[in-house]
Structure 1
């Protein structure tokens, strides 16, 4: 049996691994996902990815894989799942099939929104090699993390996260086993616009770069999975060299939530990265562990979101471009979360008292006009809409947003996404069933199941950009990226709050104009982790200043700066901080696109 397990691991097949009396299947490793999709955004809570039947109200095709049992006979079936919208029972129903026979238990309608193992009853296994399938019954986001067959007497699989992770790792034979990706000059964690630009910038300066992205596409919020258009200007830069790579990534302005996925240029982004011989691209890889020596990162460990295979990335420098500050959190970098108080920052736009309020997460959606009338089911489990309050729109824009301090954008990512889905499906059901003249021939063409986040952790650097820096246009000697976006701090739309107090999903804002200003380089490296850069929405700012710096063209230019800074740091075998303290004039000459200089001290 051990030989069989080792062969399966080596071949990276998505067959379950048997240990003792257990046959354990991670659903994200199914050979054929059918119409089910992988969701990894709650890895920090789950310890794993899972798959979901995202059919927008139409049942999706079965997900299937091959299972090998150590022997025929009776097994107890356990399924790890949840009822994501229990009002009192939710819509995410599905069944497990073995060799094309549906097993009796229906999952996803328990009335509990806790992830846990559900007893699926006794199963008679008649073939040592069988086809296992997940059969969706609704198309409304049923989900499954893992499946266990066991003939161990009276065994119940663990639900506590630490115990579950240990159990999972043991049965997947993961403990202590990683593939070595090699040693890199710069390891960029996060493949959004900021991270992609950082990788390209560093690679073109001659550095050996690893670019690690936890989804199959690059671009983050600008990918076709989320579909947010790029904002911020690159043509008002004090330093015209900055923004050149951003413009390569820019696929025009398709708007938010465009139903045509091609408008977001996914293939072109990947092609640009793969054309760089100094970049090694690792897609579908979630970094969840790091190694440190004193105040220095030595390596990070990433887990493939589908196969669960683990890879180790060693590096000289690292850049956290995850948006969430994932790497910074893992290595103990100092950060802030939420709003500072006026007393702390001196900002007129700051909150009276510090709190955990953050801008929220959007799940965009779009409908299209068709030739014939279509129907959409009633959704008693969704948010309730009435003649008095509904949103009469054929597609979403940025305002469809959940968070606002009621949820933690990192640990509650699944709850936020699910709340957005309950709003989308509930509102669409109302429009389809009550405004048939306008919406009868329209159908949902696309709904994002990956959340587009705005704010979470902000990693602290040697300078914390604030409102006064922005509005007074302060010019620091290390001012690099020129930013132009307004101070754009979202809040719950008052009318939405009236009908959904505490459960808002629709936002308002007030744009406060700013003159073009520069972001100091000191906002782009950690104050207490000596080899950590950052670029994107997680840089060193106050909550108020973040309202202006967070847009993607601006974030992309930050990535370009990090690439240049990592080159200077490597040239002198020094730290990101030393680039500012000891080599600023040379670094700024690169930013200004001036002839090379050996000058060092500012």
Structure 2
């Protein structure tokens, strides 16, 4: 948890370290990998925790083995123990014979004989055989052998040599609860006027706006940083114009929070005499790397700036590394949500008057039973000229971006026979993988995200290995080294929650005038499709974008709340639009303005004791007055 009281922050973090300890029942010692005392170079991946049951540790070394993750456990009885490790061979789905995710478990620096990550396409318990353990403190370490995304969920040490860990989802979840070493009771995190789930640009702007207008807000984010796609973990630049008619003060908070970059530079050059433009031009003049829009240096994405602004709001309590996994609903209203601290495993309960789904995937709405859609609607259903004749599940995909840097000396990179294989005809001669390194068009972006991300990694590593080791231009790349490869996927589309208005292509093209016009979308209708490469036989890993130009268009407020869950707002790429209309509203300066509108509407709901729908039906003039004034500055 993170809030304004720094002492409280550090005390809370210290207590987590003191409280957590592996379970040491009579026969079993259970260790969650994500709760290791020292994660070394391993990182926590929570993207598929709802599907596989837990966050896990990932050895994301880009071909260089990462530092060991370590923890200590107390052995109360010496003797023979069997070791089980929950892991998987992450490339087995593609029927390759090599094992890029190999790792060892070290006991007091001595490796267990079994090499892990070499069996099973699915998550499972790999039997590591038996070991002798002494009484007292023992150090357990995960030793990465490849740098290529080995993964470990949990470890069991058991005196019961015949014991087999549970595999089925519910049984495994119960086993975790019984053996986590934490209190079984859910912790009451408090009652809030507004609970915002999701800490991307939409979620940040929703929370800060509502807080500045007097609401008590909880902002829950399941990563260690804020920003979502605009964080240093994903590195997508902010796009879309702000300060547009009919409410030219919308976007003030987006501008305050957002990082300066390529799109801001373009906007500034259109009006170079304004004070804001002069500031932007001066920043970029002194920091030319900020012109890199996507997949740029970490500093381009302003993690610290976002955290500083949010933590400076007295009415916000921020919960990082916290994943909402359940919603309690009654009479078409959300009463509370339950979340898990992905590091410690502790569960927290958040009660609220209002809730905002800013997760991108519509996770909260899905948990609460909100109406939603996935995929492309048919033209017969929507009347859209850009929609297919028949609806389908094709969606815009997930990007795994990357870039390399040039060194003064030769840098090697291993052969990757387990990765996507390239030829001179199919290889991409690049040192920078941008938005168009996109996968998962035919997969479920929620349920299959681990597979989608992993295929993207196989494409990146396979292409880079070919460039370095086999291509006709390998000398050109001999001094280049991979600097950064995303392991958090940059998503564009999954669930779209349905509101009282579902924005369509015709609204954008014909400029349908709605009485509740609010934030303005300016991006083209930008739809992505898989790009076929001649001679390439695996599934697509590149995309092409098809653009339909629009004039700036003010989107109705009624796209920003659920039509069947009475106290649920949404902001981000999960709002009430068709697949085609999503092509314009999904860029992040636009989603940030959605958050400003939702924060204003939430404040009206609290102050006037009304619902999101009531804001349209009874309090629209009050909302418009907020839209005219924009988000107040933090005093």
| TM-score normalised to structure 1 length | 0.95
Q: Does 1:95 align with 2:132?
A: no
**Aligned partners of 2:609, 2:154: CA distance in 1, in Å?**
46
Secondary structure of the residue that 2:82 maps to in structure 1?
strand
Q: Does 1:425 align with 2:461?
A: yes
Which residue number in structure 2 is paired with residue 413 of structure 1?
449
Shift of 1:215: 0.3
Q: Does 1:270 align with 2:307?
A: yes
Shift of 1:442: 0.4
**Aligned partners of 1:176, 1:92: CA distance in 2, in Å?**
34
Which residue number in structure 2 is paired with residue 105 of structure 1?
114
Q: Does 1:66 align with 2:76?
A: no
2:329 to 277, 292, 295: 292
Aligned residues of 2:209 and 2:631 also touching (Cα < 8 A)? no
Q: Does 1:555 align with 2:563?
A: no
1:491 to 520, 525, 529: 529
Shift of 1:542: 0.5
Aligned residues of 2:249 and 2:630 also touching (Cα < 8 A)? no
Aligned residues of 2:427 and 2:463 also touching (Cα < 8 A)? yes
Structure 1 segment 387-536 matched on structure 2, within 5 A: 387-405=424-442, 407-433=443-469, 434=471, 435-495=473-533, 499-501=536-538, 503-536=539-572
Secondary structure of the residue that 2:425 maps to in structure 1?
coil
Structure 1 segment 325-340 matched on structure 2, within 5 A: 325-340=362-377
Aligned residues of 2:519 and 2:597 also touching (Cα < 8 A)? yes
Which residue number in structure 2 is paired with residue 208 of structure 1?
216
2:608 to 572, 581, 602: 572
Q: Does 1:386 align with 2:420?
A: no
Shift of 1:305: 1.1
**Aligned partners of 2:185, 2:102: CA distance in 1, in Å?**
36
1:179 to 171, 183, 187: 187
- The 3 A distance-change label for structure 1 pair 237 and 393 is farther
Secondary structure of the residue that 1:119 maps to in structure 2?
strand
Shift of 1:153: 4.4
Secondary structure of the residue that 1:514 maps to in structure 2?
coil
Secondary structure of the residue that 2:550 maps to in structure 1?
coil
Which residue number in structure 1 is paired with residue 39 of structure 2?
33
**Aligned partners of 1:347, 1:31: CA distance in 2, in Å?**
54
2:135 to 122, 127, 131: 127
**Aligned partners of 1:282, 1:402: CA distance in 2, in Å?**
30
Aligned residues of 1:256 and 1:398 also touching (Cα < 8 A)? no
Shift of 1:594: 9.1
- CA offsets 1:136-188 (integer angstroms, 9 cap, x no match): 00101000000001112411001111111111111115685122111110000
Number of matched pairs: 585
Aligned residues of 1:458 and 1:540 also touching (Cα < 8 A)? yes
**Aligned partners of 2:315, 2:631: CA distance in 1, in Å?**
23
- The 3 A distance-change label for structure 1 pair 134 and 10 is closer
Q: Does 1:145 align with 2:153?
A: yes
Which residue number in structure 1 is paired with residue 282 of structure 2?
none
Secondary structure of the residue that 1:481 maps to in structure 2?
strand
**Aligned partners of 2:18, 2:450: CA distance in 1, in Å?**
28
Structure 1 segment 147-162 matched on structure 2, within 5 A: 147-162=155-170
**Aligned partners of 2:375, 2:316: CA distance in 1, in Å?**
35
Aligned residues of 1:174 and 1:310 also touching (Cα < 8 A)? no
**Aligned partners of 2:220, 2:495: CA distance in 1, in Å?**
19
Q: Does 1:315 align with 2:352?
A: yes
**Aligned partners of 1:144, 1:347: CA distance in 2, in Å?**
46
Shift of 1:11: 6.0
1:251 to 255, 259, 267: 259
- The 3 A distance-change label for structure 1 pair 528 and 20 is farther
Shift of 1:374: 1.1
Which residue number in structure 2 is paired with residue 189 of structure 1?
197
2:340 to 303, 308, 315: 303
- The 3 A distance-change label for structure 1 pair 120 and 423 is same
The more displaced of 232-241 and 158-167 is: 232-241
Aligned residues of 2:105 and 2:142 also touching (Cα < 8 A)? yes
List gaps (5 residues or longer) in structure 1.
Answer: 1-7, 597-602
Aligned residues of 1:257 and 1:395 also touching (Cα < 8 A)? no
Aligned residues of 1:83 and 1:89 also touching (Cα < 8 A)? no
Which residue number in structure 2 is paired with residue 223 of structure 1?
231
**Aligned partners of 1:33, 1:461: CA distance in 2, in Å?**
43
Secondary structure of the residue that 2:114 maps to in structure 1?
strand
1:539 to 571, 575, 579: 575
Shift of 1:124: 0.6
Aligned residues of 1:257 and 1:365 also touching (Cα < 8 A)? no
**Aligned partners of 1:236, 1:495: CA distance in 2, in Å?**
40
Secondary structure of the residue that 1:555 maps to in structure 2?
helix
Aligned residues of 2:76 and 2:135 also touching (Cα < 8 A)? no
- CA offsets 1:182-234 (integer angstroms, 9 cap, x no match): 11100000000000000010001010100000001111000000000011110
**Aligned partners of 1:149, 1:349: CA distance in 2, in Å?**
57
**Aligned partners of 1:554, 1:258: CA distance in 2, in Å?**
20
List gaps (5 residues or longer) in structure 2.
Answer: 1-13, 262-289
Aligned residues of 1:93 and 1:137 also touching (Cα < 8 A)? yes
Q: Does 1:42 align with 2:48?
A: yes
Which residue number in structure 1 is paired with residue 277 of structure 2?
none
Shift of 1:83: 0.5
Aligned residues of 1:464 and 1:540 also touching (Cα < 8 A)? yes
Which residue number in structure 1 is paired with residue 287 of structure 2?
none
**Aligned partners of 2:452, 2:191: CA distance in 1, in Å?**
37
Which residue number in structure 2 is paired with residue 3 of structure 1?
none
